[in-house]
Amino acid sequence: MTRQEVIISKNLEQSLAAAIEKCPHDRLFVLTDTTTLELCWPVTQNYECLKGSTMITIGATDENKTLETLASVWTALQKGGATRHSLMVNLGGGMVTDLGGFAASTFKRGIRYINIPTTLLSMVDASVGGKTGINFGGLKNEIGVFNAASSVLLDTRFLRTLDGQNIRSGYAEMLKHGLISTPREWAELLNFDLLDIDYTHLQEMVAKSVAIKEEIVEKDPTEKGLRKALNLGHTVGHAFESLALEENRTILHGYAVAWGLVCELYLSAKRMSFPKDKLWQTLQFVRETYGTFFFDCKEYDRLFDFMTHDKKNEANQINFTLLADIGDIRINQSATREEILDMLDFYRESMGS
Ligand code: GLY
């Protein structure tokens, strides 16, 4: 996978013009969803570098991260006369950058694309690192490819368009980055006031968070080893999301990750002696910030089943990323069914589910 350029932009128009210039093209396409068309496109629509571009707009939210939506983007590219030398700009959250990145990566075997993430979640995670894809067969991000954007341009002004829920959703990935880096980053995240946001401080933390992810992706772009660290909280988090999807309950990805972090830190404490005080401090932060995900023991089998579909699994074992301490990462840790059920019991008892 080619290395991508991630820019924390102070002047989006200039940064985008420079990024587009680096990708000579015949036609330019801009992908938005219905939300970013309304809230974010107005910021960019008069940019000289986007003059003459063709707009493609898809439905917002994860329910639209489907094969049908993907096909509609391919069709729009085809109808708009896209060739292998065309360029696509994805302006949106993780759904737009994941699906747009996959559409671009597969259209005529791949056209180049630029990501402009507009949510905290996509700034610190989804748009960086070249994972693209769609949901399929009831499973999250089941189909996709690794293919990095040519450039990722972060303009933290967009953070001010987000409601509290979407800020908290992205913040969970930042918390994950804190847990896999240093006690200092982790403590800074637990102490930040999400009810009265200091945007200047948040921008600094976003830059640090992206740097943590970039360092890992650079060492292991296609997740053969170290990049699995970025899946902390996701084995259980994805199972919660899949259960919620099946039961028509709406939960944001980051909320599922935050709840998944509690479970996987418990497993870390049991299996790797992760310090209990840090488990409880993180748990308390998650409970206060994200509330809880409700499920009962009749749903354990279904959750276990979802975990068996996790992409990290090998040889019929459910593979977790665990921590022996903050920043002390242990990838490829299997757990027995009993350990997983015990973890779910702990979650329900300690989180009031
Ligand atoms: N979201 C995890 C990764 O990019 O590897």
Contacts of 106 (CB under 8 A, 6+ apart): 74, 145
- Whether 129 has a pLDDT exceeding 90, the answer reads yes
Mean pLDDT, range 281-301, rounded to an integer? 97
Cα 125 to ligand 1 centre (Å): 6
Q: Tell whether 346 and 212 lie within a shared domain.
A: yes
Residues 246 and 274 in one domain: yes
In the structure, which protein residues have their CB atom closer than 6 angstroms to any atom of ligand 1?
Answer: 125, 129, 131, 227, 230
Atom 5 (ligand 1): residue with closest C-alpha? 230
Side chain identity, residue 156: T
Among the candidates 140, 161, 182, a domain finishes at 161
From 102, 125, 152, 257, mutation site for ligand 1 pocket: most ligand atoms within 8 A of C-beta: 125
Residues 136, 12 within the same domain = yes
Give the C-alpha separation, 297 to 180, whole Å: 30
- Same domain membership, residue 234 and residue 193: yes
CA of 213 to the centre of ligand 1 (A): 8
**Whether 208 contacts 185, CB under 8 Å:** yes
Q: Predicted confidence band at 2 (pLDDT cuts at 50, 70, 90)?
A: low
CA–CA dist 282, 178 (Å, integer): 11
Q: For all residues of the chain together, what is the average pLDDT?
A: 95
* DSSP conformation letters of 51-120: TTPEEEEE--SGGG-SHHHHHHHHHHHHHTT--TT-EEEEEESHHHHHHHHHHHHHGGG--EEEEEE-SH
Average pLDDT, integer, range 59-74: 96
Neighbours of 194 (CB within 10 A): 14
With CA atoms as reference, report the closest residue to 218 among 326, 143, 288, 128. Answer: 128
Region 272-294: what's the mean pLDDT? 98
Atom of ligand 1 nearest to the CA of 129: 4
Token pair of 157, please?
């002004």
Whose CA is closest to 221, among 330, 138, 286, 130?
Answer: 130
Judge contact between 43 and 91, C-beta under 8 A.
Answer: no
73 closest CA partner among 98, 42, 43: 98
Whether residue 25 sits in one domain with residue 146: yes
Which has the closest alpha carbon to 237: 262, 200, 218, 207? 262
d(CA 127, ligand 1 centre) in Å: 9
pLDDT (0 to 100) of residue 314: 73
Both 189 and 303 in one domain: the answer is yes
Q: What is the pLDDT of residue 245?
A: 86
Enclosing domain of residue 31? 5-161
Residue 289 in this model has a pLDDT that exceeds 70: yes
Q: Pick the atom of ligand 1 nearest to 173's CA.
A: 1
Q: Based on the domain organization, do 154 and 181 belong to the same domain? A: no
Of the residues 145, 161, 177, the one at which a domain ends:
161
For residue 174, name the pLDDT band (cuts at 50, 70, 90). very high
Question: In this model, does residue 231 exceed pLDDT 70?
Answer: yes
Report the share of the chain in percent with pLDDT over 70. 99
**Cα(237)–Cα(310) distance, rounded to whole angstroms?**
10
Q: What is the mean pLDDT of residues 216-228?
A: 95
**How far is the centre of ligand 1, averaged over its atoms, from the C-alpha of 133 (Å)?**
12
pLDDT at 179 > cutoff 90:
yes
Give me 182's structure tokens: 């240093």
Q: Is the pLDDT of residue 307 over 90?
A: yes
Instruction: Write down which residue in 161, 183, 204 finishes a domain.
Output: 161
Predicted confidence band at 343 (pLDDT cuts at 50, 70, 90)? very high
Contact 64, 35 (CB under 8 A): no
Atom of ligand 1 lying closest to residue 125 CA: 1
For residue 62, report the distance from its CA to the centre of ligand 1, in Å: 17
Q: For 81-110, what is the mean pLDDT?
A: 97
Does 240 share its domain with 96?
A: no
Nearest to 172 by CA among 115, 226, 240, 220: 240
Percent of the chain residues past pLDDT 90, beyond the cut: 90
Is a pLDDT exceeding 70 seen at residue 15?
yes
- The per-residue pLDDT for range 98-118, each reduced to its tens digit, is 999 999 999 999 999 999 999
Mean local confidence (pLDDT), 231-258: 94
Strands 151-154 and 5-8: parallel
Q: Find, among 194, 220, 216, the residue nearest to 125 by Cα.
A: 216
Average pLDDT over residues 29-34: 98
Q: What pLDDT score was predicted for residue 205?
A: 96
Question: Is the pLDDT higher at 324 or at 314?
Answer: 324
| pLDDT at residue 316 greater than cutoff 90 | no
Name the domain count of the chain: 2
Mean pLDDT of 209-238: 95
pLDDT for residue 315: 65
* pLDDT at position 71: 98
Q: Are residues 18 and 112 in the same domain?
A: yes
Helix or strand or coil: residue 140?
Answer: strand
Question: Residue 93 maps to which CATH number?
Answer: 3.40.50.1970
Residue 132: pLDDT band with limits 50, 70, 90:
very high
Measured from the Cα of 223, ligand 1's closest atom is: 5
Which residues is 30 bridged to in the sheet?
A: 55, 89
Please name the residue that has the structure tokens 């894809």: 133
The CATH code of the domain that includes 212 is 1.20.1090.10
Atom 3 in ligand 1: residue holding the nearest Cα: 230
Token digits of residue 74: 């391919």
Q: How confident is residue 140, by pLDDT bands cut at 50, 70 and 90?
A: confident
Does residue 246 sit in the same domain as residue 130? Answer: no
Indicate if 102 and 177 belong to the same structural domain. no
Position 311 scores a pLDDT of: 74
Task: Indicate the DSSP class of residue 138.
Answer: T
> Are 29 and 156 part of one and the same domain?
yes
